[in-house]
Amino acid sequence: MVKSHIYISLLALLCYTHATAQSLSLDACVERALEHNRSLSSAKLKVDQAQFDMKSYKANFYPKMNLMALDFFSTAKGNFTIQGGHLPIYSYVPSSGQFVPNVTPNADGTYTLNQYADFPSQTMEWKLKNMFLGGVSITEPIYTGGKVTTAYNMSKIGVAMAQENIRLSESEVIVKTHEAYHLTIKAKELGDVARSYKSLLTELKKNVDGAFRHGMSTRNDMMKVQVKLNEAELSIQKADNAYRLACMNLCHVIGMPLDSQIDFGDDQTATSSLLGSSNDSTIILGRSSSIEERPEYALLEKKTELARQKIRLTKSDYLPTVAVGATYTYTNGGELAGKKLIDNGAASVGVAVKVPISIFGDAVNKTRSAKAAYQIAQLEQEDLNEQMRLELSQCQNIYEESLSELQLCQLSLEQAAENMRLSKQQYEVGFETLSDYLETQAMWQKCYANLVNARCQRQLAYVSLMKATGKLR
């Protein structure tokens, strides 16, 4: 009774596991990988970062406005004295219509006051107390030697490079997903091959065992079949382990839990629609493809252009700059003799001109360094372009070879199947030995496994070729 409950529980668990297995096509795996890949998410954030930098550099074309305010309190105070004395008295002269001082000149050049008024000494006290200073300034660059324009152009190149980096990351994710998917399909099909081979051996063992019971076969024949059957069991176990690990790797690539159950359905030999049209293989085999659609090619071009812009940016450091500005300030505070000392505002407008003076060839040497960096970028671009062209030719060769290998493996499997059929007939009528029949079965299993490998290699070669031509996205 207990055993029956255990069997029922295991059966229910297996049915639940099968029911919850998620069916994933190749396109679905690619889309999930593109959605969950961390490096691709980082590349998209870098685009946002580059766009923010571009907007920041663009703001340099517009006036800069600054507000300033200062308020402080001080207990500093003091006083000063204006000394008193005699002040001359002026008299009106009707003939001249002027006021003249009532003084008598002396021989030594001094004057004697005939009439005067006394001016008493005055002592005044000052206090800082609360002081406030506020103002606003506006500055607009007129000419910066091309620094603002060049920096903005370089930021736009940075945005373009970040966008191309997304394409590059996407292509790498697609290739990695295809590899994980097709290797999983390969492991699954190799398991099917091993089970088919075991089925053949199981049927043969029944026949040999029956013949042995009737005295028509030897124990040696039974042992030969049993050894092959044991080998088939081991092959199945290895294939199942490889399939389980391949599924875990695929789940890791597409962002699913490693223990997720996956059902591939009938999509085992499908090609992702992300790879382009069905005519791509014909075009590729025609050797008319180029590397100009690859994101790496565009990145190298942008990198070289960035180095060229760096020359202009370096030169701008040694060119004159002109800017206009306007300010308005308001000051309030201080006391003198008990009255407010300062309470007014002032406006000003000015033009600033800065002319750098190079010393000891600083401008020349930095410009030459920037030009050398530009030449290095050009050489690197040419070298990497040649490497990409070489990679494209290599991928084309591998893809053509994979097509030929697939055709030969299909033909070999057909021939091995026919050979096994004929060998079975010969063995059943006694015209062929058991060893020969077992050998034809092993050859069929090997050809079947080779066909599975060839299918996988053809798919992977096609993906690599599409990546080499920049047609993945």
Can you give the pLDDT at residue 266? 57
- The share of the chain scoring above pLDDT 90, in percent, equals 49
114 pLDDT band, cuts 50/70/90, is low
CA nearest neighbour of 310 among 147, 160, 182, 434: 147
* Span of 202-211, 348-357, 437-446 with lowest mean pLDDT: 202-211
Q: Which residue has the higher pLDDT, 456 or 83?
A: 456
Contact assessment for residue 194 and residue 446, using Cβ atoms and an 8 Å cutoff = no
Q: Which residue has the higher pLDDT, 375 or 94?
A: 375
Q: Report DSSP letters for 95-135, one per residue.
A: TTTEEEE-EEE-TTS-EEESSEEEE--EEEEEEEEEEEEEE
What is the Cα–Cα distance from 240 to 454, expressed in whole angstroms? 20
18 pLDDT band, cuts 50/70/90, is very low
Q: Is the pLDDT of residue 277 over 50?
A: no
What is the Cα–Cα distance from 12 to 14, expressed in whole angstroms? 5
Mean pLDDT, rounded, for 235-251: 94
Number of other CB atoms surrounding residue 184 within 10 Å: 27
10 pLDDT band, cuts 50/70/90, is very low
342 pLDDT band, cuts 50/70/90, is confident
3 state SS of 68: strand
Can you give the pLDDT at residue 305? 95
Q: Which residue has the higher pLDDT, 22 or 444?
A: 444
Q: Is the pLDDT of residue 276 over 80?
A: no
Can you give the pLDDT at residue 11? 43
Q: Which residue has the higher pLDDT, 340 or 307?
A: 307
Can you give the pLDDT at residue 194? 93
446 pLDDT band, cuts 50/70/90, is very high
Provide the whole-model pTM: 0.76
* Span of 12-21, 71-80, 168-177 with lowest mean pLDDT: 12-21
Per residue in 396-438, pLDDT tens?
999 999 999 999 999 999 999 999 999 999 988 888 888 898 9
* Span of 79-83, 226-230, 234-238, 345-349 with lowest mean pLDDT: 79-83
Q: Is the pLDDT of residue 38 over 80?
A: yes
Mean of all residue pLDDT scores within the chain: 84
- Strands 262-263, 22-23: pairing is parallel
- What are the structural domains of the chain? 21-62+144-319+361-468 (1.20.1600.10)
Sign of CA dihedral 226, 229, 233, 238: positive
